[in-house]
């Protein structure tokens, strides 16, 4: 996430900050009016990637705990794997896979709806 946000910060033109400081804008005002709106696309990509990574955290739970003790650390993806491979319940496993996909797609669409605005169109 840090690399994505750093890349987003480096894309912002320095002339915007120079013009804002000449106009008398404080650093706080520059952050809210220049940095944050122009960094929204990078924040969006970082949030979507991080959300998808959270749902793919299967390997850590399997290697460290295997879902135990007593299913205390069993993640949704690990439960889905157990449905498929251990219990051979392909119907429930398929439905759960589709639900996981729809849930992550819904979260991604929510992030896109909230942060996916064009920063240059504000104020027109």
- The pLDDT tens digits of the residues spanning 67-105 come to 888 888 888 888 999 999 999 999 999 999 999 999 999
Same domain for 60 and 102? yes
Residue 123 has pLDDT above 70, yes or no: no
Residue 28 belongs to domain spanning:
1-39
The answer as to whether 45 is a domain residue is no
Three-class DSSP labels, 17-30? HHHHHHCCCCHHHH
Average pLDDT on 37-49 reads: 91
Number of domains within the chain = 2
pTM: 0.75
Residue 74 gets the label, from left (phi > 0), alpha (psi -120 to 50) or beta, of beta
Same domain for 34 and 64? no
């Amino acid at each position: 996430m840090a690399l994505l946000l750093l890349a987003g910060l480096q894309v912002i033109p320095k002339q915007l900050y120079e013009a804002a400081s000449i106009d008398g804008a404080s650093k706080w005002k520059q952050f809210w009016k220049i940095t944050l709106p122009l960094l929204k696309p990078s924040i969006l990509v970082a949030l979507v990637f991080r959300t998808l990574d959270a749902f793919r955290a299967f390997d850590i739970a399997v290697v460290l705990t295997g879902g135990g003790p007593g299913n205390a650390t069993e993640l949704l993806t690990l439960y889905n794997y157990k449905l498929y491979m251990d219990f051979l319940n392909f119907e429930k496993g398929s439905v759960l896979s589709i639900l996981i996909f729809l849930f992550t797609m819904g979260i991604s669409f929510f992030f896109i709806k909230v942060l996916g605005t064009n920063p240059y169109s504000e104020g027109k």
